Amino acid sequence: MYEPSSFLRFAEDKLQILALCFMAVVYLLKIRWILSFPPGRDRQATTAVFTNASKGAQYSLFNIAMPWAMGSTRDHPFLYIQFVIFHIGVAVSILMSVLIPYVPHLIAGKFAVFTMQGIYIAAVIIGLVRLARRISDPYLRAVSTPDDYFSLALLIVWFASGYAAAPNKPEAGESALLIYFILTAFFLIYVPFSKISHYLYYPFSRWYLGRTLGYRGVFPIKREPRAHV
C-alpha cells in the first residue's frame, strides 16, 4: 500500500488548518470592525405601502439568486451563467480540499472524478473569458486593479491544479496534489486581503441597502400587470 510523503501529509492537513485559522482570525477582526459602526437610520417616516424594511432586506440579500430581478443579469443571462459556473468551481475546489485528506472515498469513484474535472474545465474556460474581457473592455480595464488581474489569473491556475489533483493518485506522483494544496493554503491566507473577500461584505451591504429601500417603499419593486392595448 502506498504511503504518502510527510510533506504531502503536512500540505493537505496541518498547512490547510493553519491557513484556515489565519483566515478565520482576519475575518473575525473584519466583522468586528464592520459591526463597530452604528447602522444608518432614516429620519423620515416610512413611506412603504406594499413592503417594509424587513421584506426589503430579505429581498436584497437573496437578490443574487434571482437573475430576473436585476437588469444586468436579466439582459445578459450568459454572464449570469458564467458567474454561477465559476462560483460552483470555487465551491467544488474548497470541498475537494476537505474531502481528499479526510474522507477520500467519497470522491474516489470515476463518476465523481469526471464530474469534478468537468466543472474545473468549465471554470477554467470561463476564467479565461473573464480575464480576456477585463483586459479588452476599456470600461472594465479602467476600474480594474492589479489585484483583479492577479486574483483571476490565480483562480484559473487553481482550477487547473484542481483538475490535475481530482483523481487523487499520489502513487502516480505527488506533484499535482502538492501544487493544489499549496495553492489552496495560499488562497486562504491571501483572500482576506484581496477583492475576493467581497463575499464577506455582501450580506452586510445588501441587508442594509434592502432595509433602507424597503423602509422607503421601493424595494422589492411592486410589478403591476401590463395593460393590454
Q: What is the pLDDT of residues 165-209, one digit of tens each?
A: 999 999 989 999 999 999 999 999 999 999 888 888 889 888 888
User: What one-character-per-residue DSSP string does 114-180 give?
Assistant: HHHHHHHHHHHHHHHHHHHHHHH-HHHHHH--HHHHHHHHHHHHHHHHHHHHTT--GGG-SHHHHHH
Q: How confident is the model at residue 225 (pLDDT cuts 50, 70, 90)?
A: low
On whether residue 216 sits in a domain, the answer given is no
Cell of 52: 417594509
On whether residue 226 sits in a domain, the answer given is no
Taken as a whole, the chain contains a residue count of 229
On whether residue 167 sits in a domain, the answer given is yes
Which pTM value belongs to this model?
Answer: 0.86
- pLDDT score, position 49: 80
pLDDT beyond 70 at 72: yes
Average pLDDT over residues 150-174: 94
Which carries the bigger pLDDT value, residue 121 or residue 217? 121
- The predicted-structure confidence for 91-128, as pLDDT tens digits, reads as follows 999 999 999 999 999 999 999 999 999 999 999 999 99
On whether residue 223 sits in a domain, the answer given is no
Q: CA 227 → CA 222, 223, 224, distances in Å?
A: 15, 12, 9
Q: How confident is the model at residue 67 (pLDDT cuts 50, 70, 90)?
A: confident
**Separation of alpha carbons 60 and 51, rounded Å:** 12
On whether residue 36 sits in a domain, the answer given is yes
pLDDT beyond 60 at 224: no
Q: How many separate domains does the chain show?
A: 1
On whether residue 159 sits in a domain, the answer given is yes
CATH number of the domain where residue 83 is located:
1.20.950.20
On whether residue 59 sits in a domain, the answer given is no
Q: Which of 162, 181, 170, 79 is nearest to 115 (CA)?
A: 162
- pLDDT score, position 48: 77
On whether residue 133 sits in a domain, the answer given is yes
- The predicted-structure confidence for 133-144, as pLDDT tens digits, reads as follows 999 999 999 999
- The predicted-structure confidence for 13-65, as pLDDT tens digits, reads as follows 999 999 999 999 999 999 999 999 887 777 788 887 888 888 888 888 888 88
**90 is in which domain, residue-wise?**
6-51+73-209
